[in-house]
Amino acid sequence: MNEQSVIETRGLTKYFGGKPAVYELDLEVPRGCVFAFLGRNGSGKTTTIRMLAGLEQPTRGAGSILGCDIRALSPEIRARIGYLAEEHQLYGWMSVAECGEFQAKFFAKWNGRIFRGIAGHFGLKPAARVKDLSRGERAGLCLALTLAPEPELLLLDDPGLGLDPVARRALVESMIYLTRKSDRTIFFSSHQLSDVERVADYMAVLDQSVLRACCPLEKFQESVRQVRLRFSGAPPALPEIPGLLQAARTENELRVTCARYDGETERILRALSPVEMETVPLGLEDAFISYLGERGEKSFILPDLEAQP
């Protein structure tokens, strides 16, 4: 195992019935980074995080977290891991203060100031019952409970779910605050790509249970490119392009989105003899949507659309 990795999996696989939820996942997460774990709904993100937290037994494969086998996490290791589940479930009958007191009794490194600070940031009154909190407030409370023990590694399963933009921004700031020390690591899943873009160093993309990308954020953005090709007449038929994600055709234009864009891709495209060839800058969200969106060639020429059944 790589000593610089806080999370490492080899062939990690989970089946539910006969269907794989996570398939042969090989992943390494370096210490001290913010790692975004992305994918569409049902792609296996939550299952992976639950397996990493020792809450779900893998069907096969192996994994370690902070050097400990994920099948047998010791209490000492759990004390170093903060886990935030996606639905922010807590005991409804407890008050905010009682939640904090309850949790504080288990964690030696409990930092009451962090708890109170985050709770205050979300406007949580200590006497308020959990069952009376809004979803966003509950998320804030869960976040406070997760961050207050000052864990070395944070596993956050869609922490922004249910939070308004202001609260989400507070969450992002919390994450940045937490990683001020170099040995802190955050592994989180999210659908909020603007947040990811703001804080993440690395990202991994799960597509239908399979890991398709794992790289620094910039590398992903570099690799997924869209090129607009203008032709004097109708665009020619598209040859086979490695890593082609999408191609959209209009009367005299062709927009091609590729993963792993490189010199070979450019050579193939230039061979089509376009009048003009232009690279369209993609943000992370656009790149991500292109990467996981519908694959293949689409036509936006009216007669073609009308001809479709």
Partner 1 sequence: MKALIQKDLRENLKAGLLGLLIYSLLALAVCLSTIASLTHLIDGNNGAVYSDVLQPLLSNDFLTESAFFCAIFGAVLGWMQSRNEAHRDLWAFLIHRPVTRTEIFRGKMTAGLCLYAMGAGLPMAVLLAVVRWPGHVAAPFEWAMVLPLAAVFLSGVACYFGGWLTGLRQARWYASRGFGLVLAVLCPVCVLNVAEFWQTLALTAVAVVILATAVWGAYQSGGYYRGQPAGGRLALIVAMAAGSGGVVFAGAGLLFAAVLNPWSSFSYSSSNYRMTQDGSLYKTTITNGVVKEIVDLDGHPLLDPKTGQKMEWQEFQKHVAAGAAASTELRYREYQNNGNSFCNQGRFFELWSTAEKALWYLDRHGDLRGYNAQTRKYAGSLNPPGSRGALGREPFLQLSDPGNYYGSDDLKLMATAKGVYQADFKARALKPVFSLTNDDEICGFCGDPGGPILNGNQMKFILLTTKSAVRLLDSEGGTILGVPYQPGYVEYPQVGVFFLQATNGSTANFAVWFYPDAQMNLKSGWKMPHHVLWLGPGQTVARSADLPYLHPQTSISWPTPLLQALLPPPAHLASDHNIYSPWSALCFALAIISAGVAWVLARRHNASIMAGIGWTLFVFLLGVAGLLTLLCAQEWAAREPCPNCKKLRAVDRELCEHCQAPFPPPEKNGTEIFAPL
Q: Which residues bind partner 1 (CB under 8 A)?
A: 11, 13, 15, 17-20, 23-24, 28-30, 33, 50, 53-57, 59-61, 71, 75-76, 78-79, 81, 83, 85-91, 93, 102-103, 105-108, 202, 205, 210-216, 219-220, 223-224, 242-245, 259-260, 291
Coil vs helix vs strand at 197: helix
- Least separation in angstroms between residue 127's CB and partner 1 is 16
Name, in order, each residue with C-beta under 8 angstroms of 138's C-beta and a sequence gap of 6 or more.
Answer: 88, 90, 130, 162
Q: How far is the CB of 219 from partner 1 (least distance, A)?
A: 5
Cα(first)–Cα(last) distance of the chain, in Å?
Answer: 55
| Least distance CB 156 / partner 1 (angstroms) | 13
d(CA 7, CA 185): 10
Measure Cα distances from 190 to 54, 61, 194, 247 in Å. Answer: 20, 25, 10, 27
- Nearest distance from residue 231's CB to partner 1, in Å? 25
In a 3-state reduction of DSSP, which class is residue 269? helix
To the nearest whole angstrom, how small is the minimum distance from the Cβ of residue 36 to partner 1? 12
**Closer CB to partner 1, residue 23 or residue 122?**
23
| Nearer Cβ to partner 1 (105/113) | 105
Token pair of 96 as six digits = 């905010």
* For partner 1, the closer CB: 201 or 253: 201
Helices (H), the chain: 45-52, 75-79, 96-104, 112-121, 135-147, 165-178, 193-199, 217-223, 263-270, 284-292, 302-307
Indicate the burial class of 70 (C-beta count within 10 angstroms; 0-12, 13-18, 19 or more): buried
Q: Tell me whether residue 118 or residue 211 sits nearer to partner 1 (CB atom).
A: 211
Q: Give 111 or 252: the residue with its C-beta nearer to partner 1.
A: 111
For partner 1, the closer of residues 259 and 282 by Cβ is 259
- Please, what is the minimum distance in Å from the beta carbon of residue 178 to partner 1? 18
Q: Is 90 or 193 the residue whose CB approaches partner 1 more closely?
A: 90
Contact 157, 84 (CB under 8 A): yes
Which residues does residue 226 pair with via DSSP β-bridges, in sequence order? 257, 280
Minimum separation from the CB atom of position 269 to partner 1 (A): 16
